[in-house]
Amino acid sequence: MTQPSSPRILVVAGEASGDTHASELVAALQALRPDLTFFGMGGARLAARGVELIHDAREVSVMGITEVLPRIPRILRIMKDLAQAAEERRPDCAILVDIPDFNLRLAKKLKALGIPVAYYVSPMIWAWRRGRVRTIQRLVDRMLCILPFEEDFYREAGVPARYVGSPVLEQMPKSASAREFRQRLGLPEDAPTLALLPGSRMSEIRRILPTLVGAAKQLVSERPGLQVVVPVAPTIAKEEILSRFEGSGVTPVLVDGRAPEVVGASDAAVVASGTAVLEAGLMERPLVVVYRVSLVTYWVGRMMLKVAFVSLINLLAGRRVVPELLQGEMTPENIASEVRRVWLPGEPRDAMVQGLAEVRGRLGEVGAAHRAAQTVLELLPPRPVS
């Protein structure tokens, strides 16, 4: 009698956060169904879970119109490779994680092959390009939402959706004092500390970090002994960070990754908009959100944006909890001014920390990967009875 083959799952994730979320979901699936096998695209974390990588996530990790255009031929070849692998191997389902411009196009090809699609980390279509909900309704069999208001949005549009919780909660270190975090990182425990999180893409380092250095220069001149700490993403060479501090008079302390702990060690943080803002906010330290993209990307985005805020902290709170300094407003003077407002104990700092605690409460409990895995299993054939 022929033994049934192990169910196969195609996993496609881009950039560092997607690789992390996808690897946790794969781990949860492996715990529930050890007979599963996985292949697709991702990074080091998915590879460590035993996923066979056809392509590395870094090959499609670009952002902004001017950055994407030169890479389109390569990106299309990668998409074709993944679709071809799906046609040859016929996975029992696919898990697509974030990167909507890539993954929704791939979902169309998978749907044509009759492969069920689970989408983890929803595209932010409630913020812009809402028309894509019709595309998602056609192509996605399960939408796994990580923000609490997304489930109702999708269900009203006829998309089978479930709020599984925020995977970021599971990646947060346990609450501790700034002194304790400094001790863990090998930093002087009593030194005032400023965290700078300029992003994980080279385009962000080029556009954002020099301005952050300018703000740090002002703050260091005012606060003797101030240490400036920068967590460095694995996608960025340390030399790229250090070169932008040359001539500033500021000597940063670089930490390999561990961004939440760096924020936890700080008195205040300056954070590039993105997933890192939510991570930083969950550490309940005062922060300033910044971002700058190319003018073309900015004007296109501004015309399409349907929400009042850019940062997830403010979107979840429904009000301005943290300042957002975008494009021309992102100047060294403005950043330094906002940091000064919340640097020391007082009403502005207390109000911000209280708002961050409220956001933390709205995300619910840990266990997003497990709940997501349970939902994915609904798309697989039942386990054979031995």
* Whether the predicted pLDDT of 133 surpasses 80: yes
31 and 63, same domain (yes or no): yes
Report strand pairing: 268-272 vs 193-197.
parallel
Q: What interhelical angle do 332-343 and 347-362 show, nearest 10?
A: 90
201 and 110, same domain (yes or no): no
What pLDDT, on the 0 to 100 scale, is given for residue 304?
Answer: 47
What pLDDT, on the 0 to 100 scale, is given for residue 74?
Answer: 86
Average pLDDT (67-78) is 77
Average pLDDT (356-362) is 93
* Whether the predicted pLDDT of 383 surpasses 90: no
* Whether the predicted pLDDT of 92 surpasses 60: yes
What pLDDT, on the 0 to 100 scale, is given for residue 311?
Answer: 86
Task: Extract the tokens encoding 271.
Answer: 């954070």
153 and 246, same domain (yes or no): no
Segment among 218-232, 285-299, 350-364 with least mean pLDDT: 285-299
| Total tally of structural domains belonging to the chain | 2
* Whether the predicted pLDDT of 4 surpasses 70: no
Average pLDDT (49-74) is 75
Segment among 27-36, 112-121, 236-245, 288-297 with least mean pLDDT: 288-297
Mean pLDDT across the chain, nearest whole number? 89
DSSP-derived secondary structure letter, 140: -
CATH number of 252's domain: 3.40.50.2000
- Summarised one tens digit per residue, pLDDT across range 101-123 is 899 999 999 999 999 999 999 88
Q: Tell whether 288 is covered by a domain.
A: yes
Segment among 24-28, 243-247, 359-363 with least mean pLDDT: 359-363
Q: Which residue has the higher pLDDT, 73 or 4?
A: 73
270 within 8 A of 215, measured Cβ to Cβ:
yes
Q: Tell whether 130 is covered by a domain.
A: yes
- Summarised one tens digit per residue, pLDDT across range 172-190 is 999 999 999 999 999 999 9
Neighbours of 132 (CB within 10 A): 16
73 and 107, same domain (yes or no): yes
Q: Tell whether 1 is covered by a domain.
A: no
104 within 8 A of 14, measured Cβ to Cβ:
no
Q: Tell whether 386 is covered by a domain.
A: no
What pLDDT, on the 0 to 100 scale, is given for residue 301?
Answer: 52
- Summarised one tens digit per residue, pLDDT across range 300-311 is 455 445 556 778
Segment 30-33 long-range contacts (CB within 8 Å, at least 24 positions apart): 31/373, 32/373, 32/374, 32/377, 33/7, 33/377, 33/380, 33/383
81 and 225, same domain (yes or no): no
125 and 99, same domain (yes or no): yes
- Confidence category of residue 299, pLDDT binned at 50, 70, 90: very low
263 and 340, same domain (yes or no): yes
169 within 8 A of 202, measured Cβ to Cβ:
no
Q: Tell whether 171 is covered by a domain.
A: no
Q: Tell whether 170 is covered by a domain.
A: no
311 within 8 A of 305, measured Cβ to Cβ:
no
Q: Tell whether 383 is covered by a domain.
A: no
Q: Which domain holds residue 351?
A: 178-363
C-alpha to C-alpha distances, 365 to 184, 202, 286, 294, 369, nearest whole angstrom: 26, 34, 23, 37, 11
Q: Tell whether 318 is covered by a domain.
A: yes
* Whether the predicted pLDDT of 295 surpasses 70: no
- Summarised one tens digit per residue, pLDDT across range 141-173 is 999 999 888 898 899 989 999 999 999 898 899
Share above pLDDT 70 across residues of the chain, in percent, rounded to a whole number: 90
C-alpha to C-alpha distances, 296 to 62, 160, 211, 303, 326, nearest whole angstrom: 15, 35, 20, 11, 14
374 and 343, same domain (yes or no): no
154 and 204, same domain (yes or no): no
34 and 62, same domain (yes or no): yes
128 and 202, same domain (yes or no): no
207 and 124, same domain (yes or no): no
Q: What is the pTM of this model?
A: 0.77
What pLDDT, on the 0 to 100 scale, is given for residue 128?
Answer: 53
